[in-house]
Structure 1
Amino acid sequence: MNDVILAAENLTKEFKGFVAVDGVNLKIRRGQIHALIGPNGAGKTTCFNLLTKFLRPTKGTITYAGKDITSLEPADIARLGLVRSFQISAVFPHLTAAENVRIALQRKRGASFDFWRSQKVVSEYDDAAHSLLDEVGLSEFAATEASELSYGRKRALEIATTLALDPEMLLLDEPMAGMAQADIERISALIKRISANRTILMVEHNLSVVASLSNTITVLARGKVLAEGDYAIVSKDPRVVEAYIGSGHV
């Protein structure tokens, strides 16, 4: 299907006899925010790591934009336009927000990160860096060291550095983890805004965030797809309600 940008077929991962992901089929459609949820131990993180090639599947295939990426490395799929974030904020703490984004932008020059280039060459990226900071609401923090930013703003900076790679699709690993409510609201609004011309797949525990942002939700339980649909559908599925008993409320 032309509207499917990322797909998995019979995706399976075994660890010494334990099946963490068991025959998962996924279709992520272009332009959507697709959430992957489930109770603890459901296989969400393993599935996410398989899709982003940080783990190799025991069985199954993964395709991105019609290309089989099952055997590719993470850097290879990033170059194709499929870029992920991590639960732990991955920024350079002693560089400013603008410098963090500029380093990501320099990736477009190829293997060189221009560390030995003149300041004039490196400064060519300043306008683009400030534009990305503006997009994620960090314009006023351009000259602030990343270590001095609040946790929520560090996550926003990480999203800016991810956007610097000009991805067609973003995969966000628990973007709201460890955040206060004010930061959750800020990052939720940011994700909604940047999804206007991108596809997003996110693993997220905060079900109110999932309900407000997602077009489609896939629920995993014991490594298998339990249910799929919009929030109105999955939240009323008796199997989903049962899976979440003791783990939270759907």
Structure 2
Amino acid sequence: MTEAAILSARGLTKEFKGFVAVNNVDLDVRRGSIHALIGPNGAGKTTCFNLLTKFLQPTSGAITYNGRDITGLSSADIARLGLVRSFQISAVFPNLTVLENVRIALQRRRGDSYDFWRSETVLREYDDEARSHIADVGLTAFTDERAGELSYGRKRALEIATTLALNPEMLLLDEPMAGMTQEDVERISALIRRIATNRTILMVEHNLSVVANLSDHITVLARGEVLAQGDYATVSKDPKVIDAYIGAGHG
């Protein structure tokens, strides 16, 4: 692991019944950076992301976080260490308000069970902190709205607020801009830049303009292997990267 890396992988490999989806990937995510994992369809991005977030176990290789080997740990274990994943499909309780959704995340962080029947007085202890997270993602005006009635982009913002309530040191975002309007993309991009000021972010993202605008460092995968690494100016000019995207039907 390099000295500045918070999350590292060495020789990360995943086979599915003889098919090698991720092959001998080495990766270092620098502390305090926004690191993007990109590549054409079928490149192995999602599998690699699932390995790093421990939703899959690698066939071989090792993953370290803050200098600790987390290869054998579960996703719940690494979340407790401060490595938290936000999901591609918005994961909120649609019939609860924005405030109630964030409050549940705060209960979880503090080790309380999901006690929906707890007294309102007890639950109000979480309100100030919940409102602070809601303000951080620009949803103050929607605090008392049901989550199910929010626009898609605002649901994603709420999801990030519930993730922030877990107080992660590192946030892993799975295609945060998928299915968004341009207005939502701009709003969530600004949000990611803001929350990255005091934490590390690793994201899988298809939108290359978002990657160009947000990322400090990029790892490009193709056919399960690392094709190129560096900043956007470097990787976007790499002939191997251009060939991989054009060959896969992507501009």
Q: CA deviation at 1:31?
A: 0.4
Output the CA distance in 2 between the equivalents of 1:202 and 1:179. 16
Determine helix, strand or coil for the equivalent of 2:72: coil
Q: For the aligned residues, what is the CA RMSD?
A: 0.9
TM (norm. structure 2) is 0.97
| Residue of structure 1 in register with 2:218 after alignment | 217
Aligned residue in 1 for 2:200: 199
Q: Matched residue of 2:73: which SS?
A: coil
Instruction: Render the CA deviation track for 1:71-96: whole Å, top value 9, x for unaligned.
Output: 11110000000000111100000000
CA contact (8 A) 1:9 1:24 kept: yes
TM-score, with structure 1 as normaliser: 0.98
For residue 30 of structure 1, report the CA deviation from its aligned partner: 0.4
CA–CA separation in structure 1 for the residues paired with 2:60 and 2:97: 43
User: What is the 5 A alignment of 1:83-162?
Assistant: 83-162=84-163
Is the partner of 1:126 in helix, strand or coil? helix
Partner of 1:4: 5
Cross-structure match for 2:55: 54
Shift of 1:238: 0.2
Q: Is the CA contact 1:93–1:146 (under 8 Å) kept in the aligned structure 2?
A: yes
Q: C-alpha separation between the residues in 2 aligned to 1:199 and 1:247?
A: 31
Shift of 1:103: 0.1
2:249 alignment counterpart: 247
User: Does structure 1 residue 42 correspond to structure 2 residue 38?
Assistant: no
Amino acid at match of 1:21: V
Give the Cα–Cα distance (whole angstroms) in 2 for the partners of residues 54 and 168 of structure 1.
19
Unaligned runs of 5+ in 1: none
Q: How much does 1:3 deviate?
A: 1.5
Alpha-carbon distance in structure 2 between the residues aligned to 1:115 and 1:147: 18
Distance 1:110 1:169 in 2: 20
1:183-212 deviation line (CA, Å, top 9, x unaligned): 000000000010000100000000000000
1:121, distance to aligned residue in structure 2 (A): 1.3
Q: Distance in 2 between matches of 1:111 and 1:62?
A: 30
Structure 1 SS opposite 2:219: strand
Name the amino acid aligned to 1:6: L
* Displacement after TM superposition at 1:62 (Å): 0.5
Distance 1:131 1:236 in 2: 42
- In 2, the alpha carbon distance for the partners of 1:96 and 1:187 equals 20
3-state SS in 1 of match to 2:10: strand
Taking the aligned partners of 1:171 and 1:221, their CA distance within structure 2 comes to: 20
Q: 1:98 to 1:111 in 2, by over 3 A?
A: closer
Secondary structure of 1:243's partner? helix
Q: Counterparts of 2:54 and 2:131 in 1: how far apart (Å)?
A: 31
Cα separation, 2, equivalents of 1:117 and 1:184: 37
Q: Give the distance between the partners of 2:239 and 2:204, measured in 1 at CA.
A: 22
Structure 1 contact 40–247 (Cα < 8 Å) conserved: no
